Amino acid sequence: MLADKHKRAAAAAGVLVLLAAGGLWGIRAYGLDDQMPHGLAFGGIPVGKLPLTRAEQLLEAHLAQTAGWRLRFASEVPGAEQASAFGSTGLRWDASAPRQALAELKGGSPFRRAWAKWQLRNRDLPVGILYDEGAYAGFVKQTWAELHAKQPTPAKRLITGQDRVEIIPDIPVYRVDEKKLLDSLLATDWLSMWRGLAPEQEAAKADPVVIPVPLAEIHAQVTYDSLTGQGIERKISEFATTILPGGEGRLHNIVSAAKTIQDRVLAPGDIFDYAPVIEETKNRFGFREAPVIYNGKLVPGVGGGICQVSSTLYNAVLRAGLEIVERRNHTLPVSYVPLGQDATFSEGYINFRFRNNTGAYLLIRTVTESKKLTVKLFGTLPQSQSFDIESVTVEELEAPVKTVINPTLRIGQREVLQKGKPGYVVETYRTKRENGTILSRELISRDRYQPQPALVAVGGKAGEGTGSGGEGKEGVLEDGVEGPRFR
């Protein structure tokens, strides 16, 4: 009885050993089988039951074919519509999950491969899109190189021969919006096209994928709106002075200083300063020899004529109703403007400055001809407003007499060597009118022009004293940058 029990137990153990051995052989055979797991897919492409080599070939074929997908970047802007291939955009497929699965099914022991095969049943391994930032930037730069090479054309303000203000609009250019284009590329349903790609399909024969090109409009710094917004609408004042004979040097100095202020624009509230203008003129053109005023006398020097420019501008400024910040008259009367309407300059001592108080921008234009200098101001001023300038001589100053001894003359004999010239005290007024009606009258300046002494020789012995009514107060260099020069 006991012997029968031992025989039955031994038989059962043998059966279990045989069954276990059969199972291990089955698992091993399952792992060595070249067939892909049931229900497996790569990004929606079924590869289950396919031979492993065929599944791998199918994956690589899809990757190679998609690199050649034709893309058409659509746009109505000239130069923006371009054609390219998917593989050149910097985008690429992320097939790391299918490749990892293939590696697990091909490598390792049969039991590890069997385990991987069992785990991959009925799974769809994802494929996705990645992009290389540097490659994408290079693609955009190269594909739209011609478009990106174009530069916007700034708007221009023209003053016509009839003194009308015209503005030529700016011309913008376009740039590809790289971020938006990348977003559009990444948002494209590439996976649907991946799934629909037939094996061995030629990408070149497929219809191109149309992708709109997002563009950014690039304007120049100076635009039509920025110029019109400045409010330079029309000519608001003009003044001209006659350029009297004074040599080529004086004409050069006048023309050069006028060129320096040509097309200068002042913003609302800006102060025009003549001192930097003179410095810039000196650096750009240089000054030449021409008479200057020194110590109340006209003497040879350098830079003579620069005050005709400041005086002409001063008169245009007065007639535009602008605020005078700093201004001085010459010590001597000048012939190109009325008394009280000149503006001299002495480096580091006397300057001419005014403020743009119009509330809009102000443009200065100059015209120099052989015998005339004209300054025109353009800006905003109501057509109904006008300004009149009137200068009144309120006092005439008697010329002093300076005497010198001339031993060749008889005692008591007198000889006039130089006639004197009287001086003047002048008041200048500005009258503001609205449609011809006087609104205000203001005193702009009270100026003193010193008299020029008469020089008289009288008979007497050498060494005797002289009598003088005075030479007047010692002055400074005016209407020039250097002087005096005597030869």
Categorize the per-residue pLDDT at 474 as very low, low, confident or very high, splitting at 50, 70 and 90: very low
What pLDDT, on the 0 to 100 scale, is given for residue 414? 82
In this structure, are 197 and 243 located in the same domain? no
What pLDDT, on the 0 to 100 scale, is given for residue 294? 74
Nearest by Cα to 415 from 406, 426, 425, 423: 406
Burial environment of residue 336 by CB neighbours within 10 A (0 to 12, 13 to 18, 19 or more): middle
Segment 103-108 shows an average pLDDT of 88
Q: By mean pLDDT, which of 175-184, 276-285, 394-403 is the weakest?
A: 394-403
In the listed set 214, 242, 259, which residue is the last one of a domain according to the structure?
214
Handedness of CA 92, 98, 102, 107 (dihedral sign): positive
What pLDDT, on the 0 to 100 scale, is given for residue 310? 97
What pLDDT, on the 0 to 100 scale, is given for residue 172? 96
- The tens digit of pLDDT for each residue in 346-365 reads 888 899 999 999 999 999 99
In this structure, are 58 and 145 located in the same domain? yes
What pLDDT, on the 0 to 100 scale, is given for residue 402? 87
User: Where is pLDDT greater, at 482 or 398?
Assistant: 398
Q: How many angstroms separate the CA atoms of 155 and 221, rounded? A: 9
Segment 119-140 shows an average pLDDT of 94
Q: Is 344 domain-assigned?
A: yes
In this structure, are 377 and 304 located in the same domain? yes
The β-bridge partners of 446 are 427
Q: Is 1 domain-assigned?
A: no
User: Where is pLDDT greater, at 105 or 410?
Assistant: 105
Q: Is 133 domain-assigned?
A: yes
Q: Is 7 domain-assigned?
A: no
11 has a pLDDT exceeding 70: no
Q: By mean pLDDT, which of 194-208, 230-244, 434-448 is the weakest?
A: 194-208
What pLDDT, on the 0 to 100 scale, is given for residue 423? 93
396 has a pLDDT exceeding 90: yes
What pLDDT, on the 0 to 100 scale, is given for residue 470? 42
- The tens digit of pLDDT for each residue in 204-236 reads 567 889 999 999 999 999 999 999 999 999 999
367 has a pLDDT exceeding 70: yes
Q: Which residue range forms the structural domain that includes residue 111?
A: 31-149+177-214
In this structure, are 209 and 250 located in the same domain? no
Are 106 and 52 a contacting pair, CB within 8 Å? Answer: yes
Q: Is 97 domain-assigned?
A: yes
Nearest by Cα to 98 from 130, 62, 65, 131: 62
Categorize the per-residue pLDDT at 203 as very low, low, confident or very high, splitting at 50, 70 and 90: low
14 has a pLDDT exceeding 50: no
What pLDDT, on the 0 to 100 scale, is given for residue 24? 80
- The tens digit of pLDDT for each residue in 284-301 reads 999 898 878 776 677 787
In this structure, are 298 and 341 located in the same domain? yes
In this structure, are 388 and 316 located in the same domain? yes
**Half-sphere exposure at residue 249, Cβ-oriented, CA atoms within 13 angstroms:** 13
Average pLDDT of the chain to the nearest whole number: 87
In this structure, are 312 and 350 located in the same domain? yes
In this structure, are 200 and 240 located in the same domain? no
469 has a pLDDT exceeding 60: no
Q: Is 325 domain-assigned?
A: yes
Segment 252-275 shows an average pLDDT of 96
What pLDDT, on the 0 to 100 scale, is given for residue 201? 58
User: Where is pLDDT greater, at 34 or 429?
Assistant: 429
In this structure, are 275 and 374 located in the same domain? yes
101 has a pLDDT exceeding 50: yes
Q: How many angstroms separate the CA atoms of 258 and 306, rounded? A: 9
436 has a pLDDT exceeding 60: yes
User: Where is pLDDT greater, at 186 or 475?
Assistant: 186
What pLDDT, on the 0 to 100 scale, is given for residue 51? 94
In this structure, are 355 and 259 located in the same domain? yes
87 has a pLDDT exceeding 80: yes
In this structure, are 54 and 125 located in the same domain? yes
All residues at 6 or more sequence positions from 221 whose CB lies less than 8 Å from its CB, including other chains: 154
Q: Is 163 domain-assigned?
A: no
In this structure, are 143 and 282 located in the same domain? no
Query: Phi and psi of 137, rounded to 5°?
Result: -60, -40
Q: Is the peptide bond before 484 cis (omega within 30 degrees of 0)?
A: yes
Nearest by Cα to 65 from 182, 191, 198, 185: 198
What pLDDT, on the 0 to 100 scale, is given for residue 236? 97
What pLDDT, on the 0 to 100 scale, is given for residue 10? 52
Categorize the per-residue pLDDT at 411 as very low, low, confident or very high, splitting at 50, 70 and 90: confident
CA dihedral 297, 302, 304, 310 (to 10 degrees): -120
Segment 157-180 shows an average pLDDT of 96
Segment 412-416 shows an average pLDDT of 79
Based on the structure, what is the number of domains in the chain? 2
Q: Is 358 domain-assigned?
A: yes
Categorize the per-residue pLDDT at 17 as very low, low, confident or very high, splitting at 50, 70 and 90: very low
What pLDDT, on the 0 to 100 scale, is given for residue 46? 93
What pLDDT, on the 0 to 100 scale, is given for residue 21? 46
DSSP annotation of 285 reads T
344 has a pLDDT exceeding 90: yes
Q: How many angstroms separate the CA atoms of 99 and 122, rounded? A: 17
